[in-house]
Structure formats: C-alpha cells, structure tokens
Structure 1
Amino acid sequence: MTQHARRSARGRSGELSYLDRPGPGTPVLFLHPVNTAAEVWTDVAAALGGARRALAVDYRAHGRSEPGGPYLPADYAADALSVLDAAGVGRAHLVCGSIGGAVAMELAAAAPDRVASIAAFGAALRVSWGPDLLDEAEAGLRELGVRAWFARHGGEILGPKSRADAAGRLVELASGGRDGDRGLDTVVRVLRSTFGEADSRPAAAVVAAAPPPGRVFVGSHDPTCPPARARELAAGLHTEVRVLDGIGHLPMLEDPAGTAAAAREFHAAVEEGR
C-alpha cells in the first residue's frame, strides 16, 4: 500500500500486524485470501489513490502477525474487528478475496453496524476440500517445504490474463512470515482448517436477513472459488455476480487496476445510493 504505516493491534491469539494509509471518507478494510497477507492488496490500494483511508489486516499466522490459532473465518473476522478497534474505525467498506468472503460475512453477522458494504473478488463462504485433497496437499507440503510447494502450485490458480509477475508475488506472500518463512506445521493447520472445515453459510443466513450493499466478482478461470461458490456468497448479500474474463482466483494480484476500478465504482454507487 502506497505511503502506508505498518501498525499493530492486540488480537485474541496474539499480536496482529496491519497496514494503514490515511485518507478521508468511509475507510476500506481489505481482507486477504488465506495463505497470502495484507500486502496482496498493495497495488489495488495504490490504484484507488488517497480518496479514502485504507486498512489491510494480516490475519493470525499470516504476514507479520503472530501464528496462534484457531484458523476459521470467524477467528479471522475477530482479527479484523481488533484492527478496526485499534485504528479507531467505527465503520468500513470491506473488500475481500477468497476465504475473505467468509470472513466478511462472519464480521457482518457479528457486528453489522461496522460494515458499510462488501465487495468480494474470487471469494466464497467455503472451499470445502475433501479429506483426500487435504491429505495430498499436506503430503506435498511436507515433502517440498512451504516455499517450494507454493512455487510449484501457485500458478495453477491464476488465469490466462494474469500479469506476468503474479505467480512469483504469490509465492512470496504465501511463504513469508513474521520471522522468516512461515512454519510448516502452521501452514498445514491453516490449510486443513480454512480449506477443509470452514463453512460460513450459517453466518450468511444471518446476514441475508438485512444485508449490507454487496457485489461479487469471480474470475472466469477460478478453480478454487468458481462461479457456483460465488453465487452462494452473492445469495447471502442479495446481489449479482460479475465475471472477470481471463482472470483466475486472485484478481487483486492478477489485475489490480481492474480490481480497483470495480471497487471504486461500487463504493461510489453505495455512497450515492444507487
């Protein structure tokens, strides 16, 4: 994030790190995909400019935050609320990716007055990997190590119109932690919890009774949170799904300018009552 400050907040599982860039108006809180970090939104925030304050949280066990669990969307939502409290922000637009969609819905269910809107990119209420796929991923992580595993598989979730450096940046974000590379056992626990156990459909049912303004975007080549998962999320927000042609699972890395433009247009519509 351009001209950001790196700050810290106290969360339920330990110290949380977050990025904070000043600006007027209702702030944006960025919620990152699992196995990335706050900095996945750097270029999106830069493209948005200084029109509003921008916050981006490193969930527990991601980026520079401490690794203590548990690792379900409700736990990451608690981290996000801790950051809002530490930053003195009463209400924010949520911009989320991947399991960040579930995090946003958990936050909206727990504290609806804190959520001005939800814009979701490649996001879902659940990923729902089965036991065989989780076992295969764990075996690969233990064989290759964290960095080499993401280097081998990270590019598989990107679309054909992704910018050239997206895969390399994903490896750095997925691998780097508070004190060097993230611990193998922690990454395995995060993967099994967030990709296997996480299911925020109950939170979405609560939110659906009185949803904030929302919009859901999905890449045409997203293998992780495909259109069916996007529609499930959109149903909880009573909104539509817009398809991003040629984009995979991480629009914020693959096409940050397009992601920023979509978020900017949505926020303007919300604030103008359109």
Structure 2
Amino acid sequence: MTDISLDNDGVRLAASVDGPPDGEPILFLHGLSLSRDTWQETGGRLKDRYRVWTLDFRGHGHSDRAPSYALADYVSDAETALAAIGRPAVIVGHSLGGCVAGVLAQRGDANVRAAFLEDPPWYLGQPGEWEKSAFPKLFSIVSARQAAWQQARAPLGTYLAFLADSPTPMGGIGSDHYGSRHLLSHASALQRQDGRCWADGNVATSVLAAIPTGREFLCPVRIIQADPGCGAALLEHHDARFAHDNPHADIVRYEGCGHSPHRAIAFEQRFASDLQAFLSSLHPA
C-alpha cells in the first residue's frame, strides 16, 4: 500500500493506493467520523485483482481541515480522487460516503462505472426523517465527548475505551460487535476529526438536505440496507422509496445488522462477498 496526497483547491487530501496498476479501480469512501483506514480489511480482500483506492475526506483522517463541510465539498473531494485515478472506477461508500457515491452515480460521469452504497442516510435530510433515526442522540453524545477530549488532549485510549464500552442499537456494547482493529481505527479517526464536521448537530440540514433524492442513478447501483431496528440510516420504507425512484437498483437488507456492516464481526464476511458478487456482475471496463 502506498500513501499519497491529493490537492483539492488548496485542501490536501490523504489517500492510499494498493493492488496491481492495471487492475480495475475501486474508490472507497468512509462515513462521518471514520477514515480511509476503516477499509483495510475489505480492500485487503480485493487488492490481488483490483486497484484499491481509499480516501480521507476533508476534516477526517490525515486530510486537511477545511473552511466548509457541505455535501458539495465532500463530493468534490471524491471527484479529486476520481481525477487522480484517471479511468472509470467503481465507488464503494459507507454512510456519508454512500451519499457521495450516490450523488456521483446520478451524474453520468464517465469516470463512475458503478456504485455500491452501504446504508446511506439518503432520506435523512428530508423534513422529519432525521428525528426518526438514532443519529441525533448519537451525534450529540459523540461530538460532545470528542470536543472535551480534544480540548484536553486526551490519549487514544480514552476514545478506544468509549467506543468499546458504549451500548449499541444492536444490543450489548461496541466490543461485542466490532473487532479490536476496527475499534482502534475508529478511535484514531475520532481523535483526529475536525469537530466542525458535526455541524453543531445539524448534519441533516447542512449536508444531507442537499441530496437530490429523486434523481435517477445513471450507472449500476447496489444498496446495502442495515436493519432499521438496529440503528440503520435507511429507515423502514426508505428502501421502497429507493426502489420507486430507481427500479433498476438492487437493494439488500441485512437483518439484525447495525449501520456498519463492513466493520461488524457478524457481517463483514457477508459484506465482502456481496461486494465481490457485485463487482463480478459488472461488464469489463
């Protein structure tokens, strides 16, 4: 794996590249408060055949902090990575990254072959939807803890213990559902993240409301929906709205799974298999 820097109009973005130079490219995009490091296991399964790219969004991981964290800014970060790739790529996005991937899939860009969306909060920017989810309470707790700990320069172990011991919508605590490597990755990401990315709790209006939810996808898309009873971002009936707006998109629900299938001990193998099946279903570039 090789770490590189990209420039998006003066904002330095950190990225990593792995796999054969002539392999079909895949761009992985993380969710809010995570980093490109979250894709280590998933990318590792694909790097023998595919050219695997991972990106830190602005304000996350090793990328620069920036003046603005609107949806258009995150989309432009991904476009910067696509320009560096320089040929048609499949985009895999989790949560916020899934929304960015979905927006790019709507544009008919020649550099976007297909998109694989992991539980994107696609409709949570619409009136009344955000409040139905687990995210307002979760974001309030995490952002407050993060702000205090960053101010106090708390050690990584403080973040790690919080994530490992906190209750989850799936039941139990974090360490029941996520392995030590993923917990460490998330702890490191929280320690580095610019707290302004939380938008003072107004992510729904400052970022998600800008998603053109009714616009059709112009390339193959598969959507992984977590279980609405376990903290999903795609709530009950959101899958039906997706199907109505995009009758050619595939939607797969993971019953009993929370918002991050690719990180969950019980679901990461299924996620990897479903992603591989999707990649294999695409016509050669």
Report the 3-state secondary structure (helix = DSSP H, G, I; strand = E; otherwise coil) of the residue aligned with 1:28: strand
Q: 1:142 aligns with which of 117, 138, 144?
A: 144
User: Structure 2 regions of 5+ residues with no counterpart?
Assistant: 150-158
Deviation of 1:120 (Å): 1.3
Deviations 1:13-33 (A, max 9, x none): 611001111223421111111
Q: Secondary structure at the match of 1:156?
A: coil
- Cα 1:111/1:74, change in 2 over 3 Å: farther
Q: What residue in structure 1 maps to residue 111 of structure 2?
A: 114
- Aligned residue pairs total 263
- Greater helix content: 1
Tell me the residue number matched to 1:228. Answer: 237
String of CA shifts for 1:18-67, please: whole Å, max 9, x gaps: 11112234211111111111111111111224111010111001111111
Cα gap change, 1:26 to 1:68, in 2 (>3 Å): same
Report the CA distance between 1:142 and its aligned residue. Answer: 3.0
Q: How far apart, CA to CA, are the structure 1 residues paired with 2:110 and 2:64?
A: 28
Counterparts in 2 of 1:242-257, with a 5 A limit? Answer: 242-254=252-264, 255-257=267-269
Following superposition, the deviation at residue 118 of structure 1 comes to: 0.9
Change (3 A) 1:13 1:68: farther
* Distance across 2 between alignment mates of 1:155 and 1:139: 12
Partner of 1:34: 32
Partner of 2:102: 105
Pair 1:170–1:43, CA change in 2 (3 A): closer
Q: Give a deviation string over 1:248-270, Cα, whole Å, max 9, x none.
A: 11011013322121111111111
List aligned pairs for 1:12-51, cutoff 5 A. Answer: 12=9, 14-23=11-20, 24-51=22-49
Go from structure 1 to structure 2 and tell me whether the alpha carbon gap of 1:163 and 1:268 turns closer, same or farther (over 3 Å shift): farther
Question: What is the Cα-based RMSD across aligned positions, in Å?
Answer: 3.5
Aligned AA (1:20): V
Measured at CA, do residues 55 and 230 of structure 1 come closer, stay the same or move farther in structure 2, by a change above 3 Å? farther
Cα 1:263–1:167 change in 2 (3 A) is same
* 218-227 or 77-86: bigger deviation: 218-227
Distance 1:19 1:111, change over 3 A: farther
Task: Using the TM superposition, give the Cα deviation of residue 127 of structure 1 relative to its aligned residue in structure 2, in angstroms.
Answer: 3.1
Residue matched to 1:151:
163
Whose relative contact order is higher, 1 or 2, with alpha carbons under 8 Å and at least 6 apart?
A: 1
Comparing 250-259 with 138-147, greater Cα deviation is found at 138-147
1:219 aligns with 2:226: yes
Cα deviation for residue 232 of structure 1 reads: 3.9
251-260 vs 30-39, which moves further: 251-260
Per-residue CA shift, 1:85-110, capped at 9, x if unaligned?
A: 23x32210011111222101222345
Please show how residues 155-166 of structure 1 align to structure 2 within 5 Å. Answer: 156-157=168-169, 164=176, 166=178
> Deviation digits for residues 107-141 of structure 1, max 9, x if unmatched?
234562121011112223243434xx758844663
Match 1:68 to one of 60, 66, 69: 66
In structure 2, the residue matched to 1:188 is: 198
Structure 1 residue 154 displacement after superposition: 6.1
Listed as ranges, the gaps of 5+ residues in structure 1 are: none
**In the alignment, residue 211 of structure 1 is paired with which amino acid?**
L
1:192, distance to aligned residue in structure 2 (A): 2.9
- Is residue 3–residue 14 contact of structure 2 (8 Å, CA) maintained in 1? yes
Q: 1:211 to 1:55 in 2, by over 3 A?
A: same
Confirm or deny: 8 A CA contact 1:98 1:123 kept in the other structure: yes
**Cα shift readout 1:222-254 (whole Å, capped 9, x = no counterpart):** 413134344444555431311123321101101
**2:81 match:** 83
Query: Structure 1: how far apart are the matches of 2:164 and 2:124?
Result: 20
Q: Secondary structure at the match of 1:176?
A: helix
| 3-state SS, counterpart of residue 151 of structure 1 | helix
The alignment partner of 1:93 has SS state of strand
Contact 1:124 1:233 in 2 (8 A): no
State the alpha-carbon separation in 1 of the partners of residues 176 and 41 from structure 2.
Answer: 14
* AA partner of residue 265 (structure 1): A
Task: Name the structure 2 match of 1:94.
Answer: 91
Three-state SS of the structure 1 residue aligned to 2:168 is: helix
Share of identical aligned residues, percent? 19
For 1:20 and 1:230, the matched residues in 2 are separated by 33
TM-score normalised by structure 2 residue count: 0.76
